[in-house]
Chains A and B, each alone.
Chain A
Amino acid sequence: MAKPRYFYYLIIMNSLINIINFVPRELIDRRFEGALMSIVISVIVGTLFVYWFGFLISKFPEKGIPEILGPLMPKLLVSAILLFFAVLWYVAGATTLLSFVDITLRFISPDTGPYLVMGGFLIMVCICCRFDSLSLLFGLEIILAITLPLILYATFKALGNPNFSWDAVLQIGTHFWHAPDWMSLAAATFSFSGYINLIIYNRVFQNLKLKHIWIVGIEGFLVLLVTFFVPIGYFGTVGVERHVYTWFATADSI
């Protein structure tokens, strides 16, 4: 069975992916209208959600959602709910995959046929889907262990670059006292939503101890700050919205 630290891996993975995926564009579009306040609020709200969900689901050790709902509700209702969830998560996964294929096509292999790249990704995802949850968690741990140092290194390199304009960052910081709005709040809390994976992965957790939830809060806060401020430091307060793929342009500029 999996140790409790794998729960944190699920959340961290979700945060790290969303550094470049959907979150920065939403936040940066609203940088003058309350993005910063949304970030601060979302840290509190997000950590709360994580703790709440973890606490609730730890009451059903080693059961996923289908096993929890099964005995409690009529079969038809359970099937309907599961079908709805399945479609929802299928769309979410497909959207993430498409987003990454798009980035890959634009930047890494511009002239490769899009269907080929999509096919390659799909084949790998389908193969990996067939493995059991515990193996996937092990694999996640290893891949995180390899990529996390790289990400940290890149972040420090980005921040330490002499061309990084701290003034622009502070300029946006002066727009702090602005009411948050729903879209940026949603985007910022999305960074914390790795706990959703637990609905199936709970099958491998025996005792989910949520002792170190504050790590999630701090990590989420830092990740959101990085994903929001680094492009601004490189592209200025006005120029940053002109980049379609903000983080890839940022990576290009380091």
Chain B
Amino acid sequence: MSEQPHKNVVSLEGVKGELSAFADLVDNTLVSPSGQANLLYIKSVTDAQKISRTIITPFYEMEDMSAYRDYIITYPGSEEGTTVERALELLLSGYAGLAIQSRVYFFDALLSENSSVSQTTTESVTQGPSDGFTENLAINLNLVRRRYQSPQLKMESMLIGNISRTKVAILYDESRVNHEVLAELREKLGTLKVDILQAAGELEKYISSDKLRLIPKTIVTERPDRVVFNLAEGKVALLTDTTGFAIVLPCIFNDFFIAMDDKINLPFVGRFLKLLRIIGVAMTLWLPALYVALTSYNPEIIRIQITLLIAGSRATVPYPSFVEVLIMLLMMEFLTEASIRLPRAVGPTATTVGGLILGQAATEAGLVGNIMIILVAAVAISNFLIPLNMMSFSIRVLKYYFVLAAIVLGLVGIVICFVGFTMYLCSQRSFGQPYFRLFLLDDVMKGQRKGKGGKG
């Protein structure tokens, strides 16, 4: 623990040597009647005002060096310097190095440029809190702790990424969490070797164990109330610095269809909305595939009126139904993707163009039947009923598999694909917990045994 004094002094010099070509490195010597101190910090990551206020000013106000040193030692966020690597780490992460009386101390003066707490952008709710996580870990922790004031809410901290050194906080409720999941998570994070970690989604990629990842197995959310709700259920939350999203794990398929709105509304309204979402998912997955199957393979299933209508609307279309479907779906995808990336100036133009093209013009030109327009619009809209984005995107891509199955085998293909998909979902494990099951029966039985209703 105790280093040779002159080694510490050397270390501040040595550290400076490592940080050559750092134009934002500031090396100051504070000289006062009572003593001298060397100050080393990187300007771009430290708060100059804070340094001036808490380090420089007291230095000139205090008479005694030892008193100043005690002040520095007891200041929150200060640490004694040990090795060169540690010193580098601290300096790079916004600490200021102070060499006093042949000892080196490091001082937390981090300046984080970030936006203050703002509204959620990807998950919206009609009534209820709409503040979202920001890029600053401390603020995020604040948002969570304020809502979950319990001594059981433990926090563990880790640094991930050799270069990015992103701070990751693991939050869990000790009394409710599943300790196996926690152990597995710690192991995974501990053995993670990656250079840069910037987004929560990346972290999800690294800790997931499945090779063929078709559906998300952790919830990525920017809402503190969702995180708090899940913590109370016994899940583990990962908060990452420099990104405004949190990861919650383990999760089940069902979790992706819960919007925080359901808790606010009356129960039967909440259940209706949930049913609506499930119908939306069913529609967006199967409607295009069903169209291909029913028009080209098995027209006997639909009524004769609709059959004749579809046949009539396709009379001018020169190519088979699956080409029509794929073209329309792809156009819809282009529109959706472009509207995310559009610069603000071009925005309205694109939507107008998209609406016009996909709407009237294509039908009038006889390129697609007008039933297709309704179909594609329904599919696109119902896709966004899913509250969480990762699942929404997954479903968006999965429907093409169903269309493919329908092209090859028709209705049989859709059924086979459906069974396969169900089996695949059931074989998923989210951190050892089963992902897709009929939890309803378990809840019902648990509820009966408890004498009250289950979690619904």
Q: Which of A's residues lie within 8 Å of B, judged by CB?
A: 3, 5, 104, 108-109, 112, 116-117, 120-121, 124, 127-128, 131-132, 134-136, 138-139, 141-143, 145
Among the 9-residue stretches B110-118, B311-319, B356-364, B417-425, the one with 4 or more Cβ atoms under 8 Å from chain A is B417-425
Interface flags, B400-428, vs A, CB<8A=1, else 0: 00000000111111001101101111111
Q: Is the CB of A117 within 8 A of B419?
A: no
Instruction: Assess whether A128 is in contact with B420, with CB atoms less than 8 Å apart.
Output: yes
Contacts A108-B298, A138-B438 given: A143-B412 contact, CB under 8 Å?
Answer: no
Q: Does B188 have its Cβ within 8 Å of any Cβ on chain A?
A: no
Interface pair B434/A134, CB less than 8 Å apart: yes
- Are A142 and B427 in contact, CB atoms less than 8 angstroms apart? no
**When A131-B423, A131-B426 are in contact, do A138 and B434 touch as well, CB less than 8 Å?**
yes
Does the CB pair B426–A139 fall under 8 Å?
A: yes
Q: Interface of chain A, helix or strand or loop or mixed?
A: helix
Of B298, B426, B428, B437, which is within 8 A of A109 by CB? Answer: B298
- Which residues of B in the span 421-450 have a Cβ within 8 Å of any Cβ on A? 422-428, 434, 436-438, 441-442
Which 9 pairs between the two chains have the least Cβ-Cβ distance?
A135-B427, A139-B426, A138-B426, A131-B427, A139-B423, A135-B426, A138-B437, A128-B423, A124-B416
Smallest CB gap from B413: residue in A? A120
Set of chain B residues within 8 Å of A135, measured between Cβ atoms: 423, 426-428, 434
Is B148 part of the binding interface, using a Cβ–Cβ cutoff of 8 Å? no
B297, CB-defined interface residue at 8 Å: yes
Q: Look across to chain B and name the residue whose beta carbon is closest to the beta carbon of A111.
A: B297
A-B CB contact pairs (8 Å), 19 listed:
A108-B298, A108-B412, A109-B297, A109-B298, A109-B410, A109-B412, A117-B409, A117-B412, A124-B417, A127-B423, A131-B423, A135-B426, A135-B428, A135-B434, A138-B434, A139-B419, A139-B422, A141-B437, A145-B438
Are A116 and B426 within 8 A (Cβ)?
Answer: no
- Beyond the given A3-B442, A108-B411, A135-B434, please list 17 additional residue pairs across the A-B interface where CB-CB is below 8 A: A5-B441, A104-B412, A108-B412, A109-B297, A109-B411, A112-B409, A116-B409, A117-B412, A124-B417, A131-B426, A132-B427, A135-B423, A136-B423, A138-B438, A139-B422, A139-B425, A143-B422
A142: chain B residues within 8 A (beta carbon): 422, 426, 436-438
- In the bound complex, residues from chain A placing their C-beta under 8 Å from that of B298 are 108-109
On chain A, the residues within 8 Å of B297 by CB distance are 109, 112
Tell me, in angstroms, the Cα distance from A139 to B419 when the chains sit together.
8
Q: What separation, in Å, do the CA atoms of A195 and B410 have in the docked complex?
A: 34
Are B420 and A141 interface neighbours, CB within 8 A?
no
- Listed in ascending order, the chain B residues whose CB lies under 8 Å from chain A are 297-298, 408-413, 416-417, 419-420, 422-428, 434, 436-438, 441-442
- Chain B nearest CB from A10 CB (Å) reads 15
Q: A138-B436, A141-B438 are in contact. Are A120 and B423 (CB under 8 A)?
A: no
Residues of B within 8 A of A145 (CB): 438
A38 to B428, alpha carbons, bound, how many Å?
A: 44
Give the CA-CA distance A98 to B172 in the complex, in Å.
52
- Alpha-carbon separation in the docked complex, A109 to B412 (Å): 8
Give the distance in Å from the alpha carbon of A134 to the alpha carbon of B412 in the complex.
Answer: 26
Shortest distance from the beta carbon of A76 to any chain B beta carbon, whole Å: 34
How long is the Cα–Cα vector from A209 to B7 in the complex, in angstroms? 72
Residues of B within 8 A of A121 (CB): 416
Complex contacts, B425 vs chain A, CB 8 Å: 139
| Bound CA span A128–B425, Å | 11
Docked CA distance A234–B426 (Å): 39
Docked Cα-Cα span, A108 to B298, in Å, equals 7
Q: Which of B417, B424, B427 has the most A CB atoms < 10 Å from its CB?
A: B427
**Complex Cα spacing A25 to B412, Å:** 24
A127 to chain B, nearest CB (A): 6
Closest approach, in angstroms, between the C-beta of A142 and any C-beta of chain B? 6
- Contacting residue for A120 out of B416, B441, B442, CB 8 A: B416
B170 to A: closest C-beta gap in Å? 28
Give B425's nearest chain A residue, CB to CB.
A139
A3, A139, A141, A145 pick with most chain B CB within 10 angstroms: A139
Let me know if B410 and A112 touch, CB within 8 A.
yes
- A124 touching B438 by the CB < 8 A rule? no
User: Nearest Cβ in chain A — how far from B210, in angstroms?
Assistant: 13
Residues of A within 8 A of B436 (CB): 138, 142
A99 CB, min distance to chain B CBs, angstroms: 15
Contacts of B426 in A (CB 8 A): 131, 135-136, 138-139, 142
- Minimum CB distance partner of B442 in chain A: A3
